[in-house]
Amino acid sequence: MVSRIAIIGAGWYGCHIGTSLKLLGFDVTVFEQHARPLHEASGNNQFRLHLGFHYPRHHQTRVQSRDGFMRFMERYPYLSREVTENIYAVPSLESLIDFATYRLIMTSSGIEYREVGGCSVPIAGVAGLIRTGERVLLIEQARRYFIAQLAGSLVLGHHVGSIEHEPGCVRVEGQPFDLLVNASWGQQDGLPPGFFYEPTMLLYYETDRPFPAVTLVDGPLCSVYPTEDPSIYTLSSVPHTPLGHATDPARARHLRDSVTAETVDARRCAMEAQIARYLPDFEESFRFVGPQLSIKTKPVGSFDDRSCSVIRRGRVFHVMSGKIDTIFFAMERILSFLEASQSPAVAPLQSPLRQDILDRGLVTHAV
């Protein structure tokens, strides 16, 4: 019988899984190496609550994001807010797919949008635009919520240094647990095959005027997106945001932590030049504030897979997270494993159907 569960990593996945298991009556302990939850990739990203528009090249990612968005709104209605003007634009030349194909993919995926002829700022070099209902995540509000929900179960500022596998349990820091959920995005015990680390740099900008969220798709393009502070936006770029690739977490941290002022300046120039091709008012609308450094984990492949997967190895679940709104898929997979492991074995039985038919006594004879 499973009763005690350890979770490593208090990001969106670790916190959601922890609160869900705790509500179901499990004895949960969540270990987080930093002094607050949502400190690494979960709190250092583009703050977008996805609906699937970002991923025309991967069906499962769109479906998980579409369904997860609705469930996120039901479960956590106060942990995101509306983006007043949220635009996706397909460039005329640089996109990997044309606008008609993009619309067809999104329509067939059951994702609601509205085609528009323009937006509140000048936009150039695009074949078409759509307006979406994607939202912005409220990270600090989420931190406070999960700290309250996980009271007595959240161990902050503690790096897990010992995991021992025994026949009847898995010991974490010497404590016995029935199961371990590794929600560290590969930072603890490395990555499963088929994944890699990607250290990243997004840029923060400040503005004193209303500005839409603008995302260019699909391919080596860029986007401007608001944060939980309405005056601060992020600028990201597919070619210029990654700082490199690594298969070792120490190497990934080294790439992230070795960023210099010169690196920031070079990436800033490249990213501003790229976004200016589509948003000519960007430079006069924004003031550079600083970089955001993080480490993502991604699957190998050029088809833009950002879906969530859960891999079980003995008593350990490895959660390879996709987008934030796919936390529900991870939880369902873990519950499915738990239910299957705790269901009693059922011996095969011979069907009584033939005897039931004979007992009815309504046998007829063909003429």
Quote the CA–CA distance of 18 and 24 in Å, as a whole number.
Answer: 10
pLDDT at residue 321, rounded to an integer? 64
Q: Is residue 115 part of a domain?
A: no
236, 251, 279 from 215: Cα distances, Å: 9, 30, 11
* Strands of the sheet with 175-177, listed across from one edge: 163-166, 169-172, 175-177
pLDDT at residue 66, rounded to an integer? 87
Quote the CA–CA distance of 129 and 90 in Å, as a whole number.
Answer: 7
45, 58, 128, 219 from 93: Cα distances, Å: 28, 21, 12, 11
pTM above 0.75, yes or no: yes
Q: Are 61 and 305 in contact (CB under 8 A)?
A: yes
Q: Is residue 102 part of a domain?
A: no
Q: Is residue 103 part of a domain?
A: no
Q: What is the CATH number of the domain that holds 150?
A: 3.50.50.60
Q: Is residue 359 part of a domain?
A: no
Q: Is residue 148 part of a domain?
A: yes
Low-confidence ranges of the chain (pLDDT < 50): none
pLDDT at residue 117, rounded to an integer? 94
Q: Is residue 161 part of a domain?
A: yes
pLDDT at residue 262, rounded to an integer? 97
Q: Is residue 52 part of a domain?
A: yes
Query: What's the sign of the alpha-carbon dihedral 80, 215, 308, 165?
Result: negative
Tens of pLDDT, residues 5-44: 999 999 999 999 999 999 999 999 999 999 999 998 888 8
SS3 (DSSP) at 329:
helix
Q: Is residue 110 part of a domain?
A: no
Tens of pLDDT, residues 112-149: 999 999 999 999 999 999 999 999 999 999 999 999 99
Q: Report which DSSP code applies to 317.
A: E
Domain count, the chain: 1
Determine the structural domain holding residue 34 and report its residue range.
Answer: 1-57+137-194+303-344
